[in-house]
Amino acid sequence: MRLRTFTAPSISEAMRQVRAALGEDAVILSTEQVGKQVKLTAAIESARSVAATATAPAAGDDIETALHYHSVPRALADRLLATAGELEGGSPQQVLTAALRARFDFRPLTDHKPGRPILLAGLPGAGKSATLAKLAARAKVNGWAATAITCDLAKAGAIEQLATYARALEIPAYRAKDAATLRRAVAKTETSDLTLIDTLGTNPLKAGDLAQLREWAEAAGAEIVLVMAAGGDVIESAELAAAYAEAGATRLVATKVDVARRYGGILAAAEAGRLAFAGLGTSPEIASGLAALRADQLCRLILPASRAETRTTGASDNKSLSGTA
Amino acid sequence: MMIQETRRTAPTAATAPIANAIAVASGKGGVGKTWLSITLAHALANLSRRTVLIDGDLGLANVDIQLGLAPELDLADVLDNNVPLAQAAQRHEPTGLDIVAGRSGVASLATLSPARLTSFGRGIADLSGRYDRVLIDLGAGVERPVRYLAGAAQRTIVVTNDEPTSLTDAYALIKLLMQDGAKTKVSVVVNAAASKAEGERTYKTLAKACDTFLKMTPPLLGVVRRDPKVREAIRAQAPLLTRHPSSEAARDVEAIAQQLAQAS
Ligand SMILES: Nc1ncnc2c1ncn2[C@@H]1O[C@H](COP(=O)(O)OP(=O)(O)O)[C@@H](O)[C@H]1O
Ligand SMILES: [Mg+2]
């Protein structure tokens, strides 16, 4: 519920302010004459809040409610809650951040120059090419020399797309049609600080696809990083991650976070594949680069900052506050 | 009466609430919950009800501060070291209350692990057999553990004042208790009201919001007027009912205690 008070010389003026601030659905809770002024108290309740379980975690909610909302698998939620239980003290945000840090690995791709090429793998449409471009953009900011190689030959326009990104970012781009050409392309990138390899969208249900992925990674001497869109089905995400981990993936970049609301899938994926969190795609903008994904960012996705915190920092406006919307 | 053990995570509501337990909650801090809990408990003791007051406001333990206690044992000993609640409940002669003090700076109820929360609830149920009334100052917040303890009590008093933030948080707490299916009887106390009429107006605002959005209306238990004697007594670390027995706030709280002293 959002509740606000309005003071105006007349009731109609006060009503106008209510409509302007809270919209047509506002309910007048009380009216009062204060001297020559009229004081109105009005509120709105968002429709979303009617169904308890469909309510996005609101500030002030607890960790358990949030994990439930995100459909974090039971066993994982239990482990996080158990860890959180050991960490009493601090806000729910602090506790959950600490629990996530204890349960997961966080190794952002943009923190250090990786010792070997990075091979981006994942389902078709997971956001591999955009991730490559964002990583390259970030590498530029870091002052690293980056190189792009694509193995994504099957997809129409893949090479053109890469060429466009590469030109915009002024980095060399190569193409590889098989493991042998990939090996030769990587050999040419000796002076590169960050070699990024884009792959064909793999079908992890096909043993052949995963075998090919492994073959490429070996040929390139590359680390496999799984690129996965957030918001996917929890079990599906976990199974996918396990399959890619089987093929050698060790880190996870979560993409399309801006167009998802539930993040249980990426948590389940990291857990099932024992993948370290490596990055976060939060917008379609290439130039914004890939955000590092650390425990506190992950926590913020799951549990928004609390009202208690805004209150103690004095940031809240005491005339208007959102309740459990 | 036992509180049902829930295995997985923080439980939501006890199966049967503790008949003589009264939880004092507010959502927002600083509305006078702790002061009201102490004064209500004191008034109940004056009505010859054997009363224990549990300071569940772990983050900002202040029953002890408001009364100037130096407890040997407190709730942290109960929660961390398995000291029985009955042992931590210490007699406070000036009021005739038994008090389980909180402790400042340690963990808050909000982050209590599910297992410890359930066992705390069980401890309260066990303790309740020795008393006519058990008052629990739940501290601020609307988190699950706060709601769990409210749900474990037969009655929950939601304290608010006339500030929009306080009303919003009181509403949020009532709504969440309802969504939890908590079997506690919720009623409202408007504290620090400029007058009885102002307090009733504040109540009506909250009641209208509940009625419109939740299709339920928690009853008004009472209005406590704003009274400078309250602050004065707290500064002196003396109970209001002893220091200013005929003050407006004292009489308002006594009227509420009269209702709570009747069989719930
Ligand atoms: N009825 C009242 N009249 C005047 N002041 C009050 C009244 N009730 C509470 N207060 C003031 O509010 C302050 C906060 O009270 P407290 O019990 O600590 O609130 P909470 O436990 O809700 O955080 C007290 O120190 C007291 O000065
Ligand atoms: Mg308090």
> CA B193, CA B36: separation in Å to the nearest integer?
13
Closest CA to A121 of A222, A201, A195, A178: A201
List chain B residues with CB under 8 Å of A80: none
**Mutation target among B12, B28, B168, B214 for the A interface, most CBs of A within 10 A:** B168
The CA A263 to ligand 2 mean position distance, Å, reads: 35
d(CA B138, ligand 1 centre) in Å: 15
Q: Report the length, in residues, of chain A.
A: 325
Residue showing tokens 């389940």: A268
CA-to-CA distance for B153 and A126, rounded, in angstroms?
50
Please report, for residues A83, A269, B113, B202, the alpha-carbon distance to residue A98 in angstroms, rounded to integers and kept in the order given: 8, 19, 15, 41
> Which among A30, A43, A321 has CB closest to B165?
A321
Q: How far is CA B51 from CA A59, A272, B65, B98, B151, in A?
A: 35, 52, 19, 6, 20
- Ligand showing the shortest atom-to-Cα distance for residue B39: 1
**Nearest ligand (C-alpha, residue B104):** 2
Q: What residue ranges line ligand 1, CB within 6 angstroms?
A: B 26, 29-35, 62, 191-192, 224, 226-227, 230-231, 234, 249
Closest ligand 1 atom, CA of B226?
Answer: 3
Per-residue model confidence (pLDDT) at position A155: 60
Of B165, B155, B141, the residue nearest B189 (C-alpha):
B155
Below-50 pLDDT ranges, chain B: 1-14
- Neighbouring CB atoms inside 10 A of A319's CB total 12
Beta-sheet pairing, A37-44 with A27-34: antiparallel
pLDDT of the residue at B60: 59
A45, A62, A319 ranked by CB distance to B164: nearest? A319
Residue B84 in contact with residue B123, Cβ under 8 Å? yes
Tokens matching residue A6: 């309005």
- pTM of the prediction? 0.58
CA distance A122 to A275: 13
| Predicted pLDDT at A59 | 44
Length of chain B: 264
Closest ligand to the CA of B35: 1
Contact A319/B205, CB-based, under 8 Å?
no
User: Distances from the Cα of A300 to the Cαs of A63, A82, A305, B29, in angstroms?
Assistant: 11, 19, 7, 24
Residue A117: the pLDDT is 95
The dotted CATH code for B18-262 is 3.40.50.300
- Tell me the C-alpha to C-alpha distance, in Å, between residue B84 and each of A156, A226, B56, B58: 71, 52, 15, 17
Average model confidence (pLDDT) across chain B: 88
Q: Does B179 touch chain A (CB under 8 A)?
A: yes
Which positions in chain B touch A74 (Cβ < 8 Å)?
A: 8
ipTM of the complex: 0.83
Mutate to test the pocket of ligand 1, among B26, B28, B35, B165 (most ligand atoms within 8 A of CB): B35
Q: Where are the alpha helices (DSSP H) in chain B?
A: 33-46, 63-67, 75-81, 85-88, 114-128, 144-152, 164-180, 196-214, 228-235, 240-243, 248-261
Q: In terms of CA atoms, which chain A residue is nearest residue B176?
A: A324
Q: How far apart are CA A25 and CA A44, in angstroms?
A: 6
* Nearest CA among A306, A292, A227, A318 for reference residue A266: A227
A283 neighbors A258 (Cβ within 8 angstroms): yes
Contact A318 B165 (CB under 8 A): yes
Instruction: Give the A-side interface with B, CB within 8 Å.
Output: 1-5, 27, 29-30, 32, 41, 43, 45, 49, 52, 60-62, 64-65, 74, 77-78, 81-82, 84-90, 92, 95, 308, 311, 316, 318-324
Hey, CA dihedral for A199, A201, A205, A207, is it positive or negative? negative
Q: Please tell me chain B's helix, strand, coil percentages from 3-state DSSP, rounded to the nearest 5.
A: 45, 20, 35
3-state SS of chain A is CEEEEEEECCHHHHHHHHHHHHCCCCEEEEEEEECCEEEEEEEECCHHHHCHHHCCCCCCCCHHHHHHHCCCCHHHHHHHHHHHHHCCCCCHHHHHHHHHHHHCCECCCCCCCCCCCEEEECCCCCCHHHHHHHHHHHHHHHCCCEEEEECCCCCCCHHHHHHHHHHHHCCCEEECCCHHHHHHHHHCCCCCCEEEEECCCCCCCCHHHHHHHHHHHHHHCCEEEEEEECCCCHHHHHHHHHHHHHCCEEEEEEECHHHCCCCHHHHHHHHHHCCEEEEECCCCCCCCCCECCCHHHHHHHHCCCCHHHHHHCCCCCCCEEECCC
Query: Contact A188/A149 with Cβ under 8 angstroms?
Result: no
Write the CA distances from A283 to A106, A167, A254, A278, integer angstroms. 20, 21, 11, 16
Closest CA to A196 of A171, A177, A213: A171
Q: Which residues of A touch B60 (CB under 8 A)?
A: none
- A114–chain B nearest CA distance, Å: 39
Mutate to test the interface with B, among A65, A311, A321 (most CBs of B within 10 A): A321
Helix (H) or strand (E) holding B155: strand B153-160
CA of B8 to the centre of ligand 2 (A): 30
Q: Which residue of B has its CA nearest to A75?
A: B8
- Please name the residues between 44 and 103 in chain B that touch chain A, using a CB distance below 8 Å: none
Residues in Cβ contact with A314 at an 8 Å cutoff, skipping those fewer than 6 apart: none
Residues in chain A where the model's pLDDT stays below 50: 48-55, 59-60, 306-325
Residue A11 to residue A205: CA distance in whole angstroms: 66
| Among candidate residues B79, B116, B119, the one with its CA nearest the CA of residue B101 | B79
User: Of A33, A42, A27, A29, whose CA–CA distance to A10 is shortest?
Assistant: A33
Chain B from 211 to 250: CB within 8 A of any A CB: 212-213
Nearest CB partner across the interface for B10, out of A43, A64, A90: A64
Tell me which ligand sits closest to the C-alpha of residue B160. 1
